[in-house]
Amino acid sequence: MKERLEALKQEALQELSGVQSQQELNDLRIKYLGKKGPLTEILRGMGALSAEERPVIGQVANDVRAAIETVIEEKQAAYQQQETENRLRAEMIDVTLPGRPSQQGAVHPLSKVIQEIEDIFIGMGYTVAEGPEVEQDYYNFEALNLPKDHPARDMQDSFYITEEILMRTQTSPVQVRTMEKRKGEVPIKIICPGKVYRRDDDDATHSHMFTQIEGLVIDRNIRMSDLKGTLLQFVQEMYGKQTKIRLRPSFFPFTEPSVEVDVSCAMCGGAGCRTCKQTGWLEILGAGMVHPRVLEMGGYDPKEYTGFAFGMGVERIAMLKYGIEDIRHFYTNDLRFLKQFLHI
């Protein structure tokens, strides 16, 4: 049995010397030291030995096991060391290489225009007011002189959640909420920026969701000339001192009288071109004197107070300012488009 153990030792050490991988090493560990290995089989036969032979053979068997385990552990440590070195080499960072430049972000062109509009009106003494995008029918329509059966509602086909709750079609509800909150106090000078929603088919000039800014002024002796002066100041700061405005009669249920406001075409200076369809003018917003009924529903006596209101689509302002022909560019997240505004 002693000779078998010595032969087994030499066989195991010979095989271990030719190991080429950690998997082979694990396989040989199981082969020689496992429960079904030859060393275990020899130890099971020690019961047939005499009392004098057992300790001798037991010592030899332990020496064989220790020799095999020592070689396996040494090779295992070598493989682990090699694996660590390989991983360190793979993860090594060469600090002498130039850094990788990160992409520079920028304010979205619509956000930029909103900030610019807010700055202009804040400079004229206005404050910024905001309200919910999910709105009550009362604030979105009824308090603005648009009862449920009013035909003008068809101009703003809406996303209704229930019969009384909808996605707001304009930021005018913020004006009504402000009037209610102020409870007849004057003056009111606010602008109301925010997203609005209408069931429009998306195309180059329309979107089911867009951004709007409305303004409201209420005080004693507010006149149409105040509205015109305010809008002229705004467009000249937005588009340049050479810009002119033109007011055309129009209809809005919540203002009376109402006007459409045009600006002189910046492309041709008012001479007429393709952009302005040879008219020399470009429409940018709607406005008018606050309807007496709206004042009354907001808690103001129309015999004592007057006011004006205006509303503009931010996309329209931005398209004219930067010469953008398709409103969809603002919402498709095309980096080629957005990168043009990095330094504006």
- Are 37 and 30 in contact by the 8 Å Cβ rule? The answer is yes
State the DSSP string of 157-204.
---BSSSSEEE-SSSHHHHHHHHHHHTT-S-EEEEEEEEEE--PPPSS
Q: Round to whole Å and give the CA distance between 211 and 261.
A: 18
Q: Round to whole Å and give the CA distance between 135 and 177.
A: 11
Asked if the bond preceding 257 is cis, omega within 30° of 0, the reply is yes
The SS3 call for residue 285 is: strand
Question: What phi-psi label fits residue 307: left (phi over 0), alpha (psi between -120 and 50 degrees) or beta?
Answer: beta
Spatial neighbors of 67 by CB under 8 A, at least 6 apart, are 9, 13
Q: Round to whole Å and give the CA distance between 336 and 27.
A: 58
Q: Is 69 annotated as a binding residue?
A: no
- Provide the 10 A C-beta neighbour count for residue 323: 10
Q: Round to whole Å and give the CA distance between 210 and 200.
A: 10
- Are 17 and 67 in contact by the 8 Å Cβ rule? The answer is no
What residue numbers does the annotated binding site cover? 256
What residue numbers does the annotated binding site for Mg(2+) cover? 256
